């Protein structure tokens, strides 16, 4: 009896985690667009409203860069925005100089008015073997 209760608890925990992870990007889609320009990488955080309702959200675009000398730099841009139904909008633009052998992770996160994560995107550049601290 105790084993079946434990198994049911584990199953419920896994199911709730799986269903939670499926909720992001269903109403508003987060997308990172990267372009190489003159030796730099231009990063644009975009949002697309997938619903028929006006959305008011906040965003955080974070760039984590690991240099060849194992130094790490973080740059975050935050703001609030609203999207009309089916509208796509560029939210933030940044440029990063990425040298050979360096690595970079870019995160774009969207939060609703209750500070609940509703959209996310992630991109990795350069040396993926280097990990963030």
Q: pLDDT band at residue 128, thresholds of 50, 70 and 90?
A: low
CA distance 68 to 127: 10
Neighbours of 47 (CB within 10 A): 24
Query: Thinking of the domain 25-126, which architecture would CATH place it in?
Result: Sandwich (2.60)
Nearest to 44 by CA among 93, 98, 117, 97: 93
Express as a percent the part of the chain with pLDDT over 90.
58
Indicate if the pLDDT at residue 124 is higher than 90: yes
Structure confidence at residue 37 (pLDDT)? 85
Structure confidence at residue 6 (pLDDT)? 46
Indicate if the pLDDT at residue 23 is higher than 90: no
Order of strands across the sheet that contains 72-83: 72-83, 55-66, 103-111, 117-126
Structure confidence at residue 68 (pLDDT)? 81
Question: Residues 52-59: what's their mean pLDDT?
Answer: 95
Structure confidence at residue 19 (pLDDT)? 42
Helices within the chain (DSSP H only): 2-21
CA distance 65 to 3: 46
CA distance 14 to 11: 5
Global confidence as pTM: 0.76
Do the beta carbons of residue 106 and residue 125 sit within 8 Å?
yes
Q: Kindly list the domain boundaries of the chain, sorted by start residue.
A: 25-126
């Amino acid at each position: 009896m105790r084993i079946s209760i434990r198994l049911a608890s584990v199953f419920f925990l896994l199911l709730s985690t799986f269903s939670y992870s499926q909720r992001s990007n269903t109403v508003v889609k987060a997308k990172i667009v990267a372009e190489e320009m003159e030796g730099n990488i231009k990063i644009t955080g975009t949002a697309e409203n997938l619903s028929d309702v006006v959305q008011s959200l906040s965003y955080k675009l974070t760039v984590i860069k690991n240099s060849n000398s194992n130094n790490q730099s973080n740059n975050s841009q935050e703001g609030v925005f609203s999207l009309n139904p089916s509208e796509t909008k560029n939210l933030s633009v940044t440029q990063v100089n990425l040298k050979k052998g360096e690595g970079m992770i870019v995160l774009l996160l969207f939060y609703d008015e209750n500070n609940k994560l509703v959209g996310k995107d992630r991109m990795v550049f350069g040396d993926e073997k280097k990990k963030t601290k």
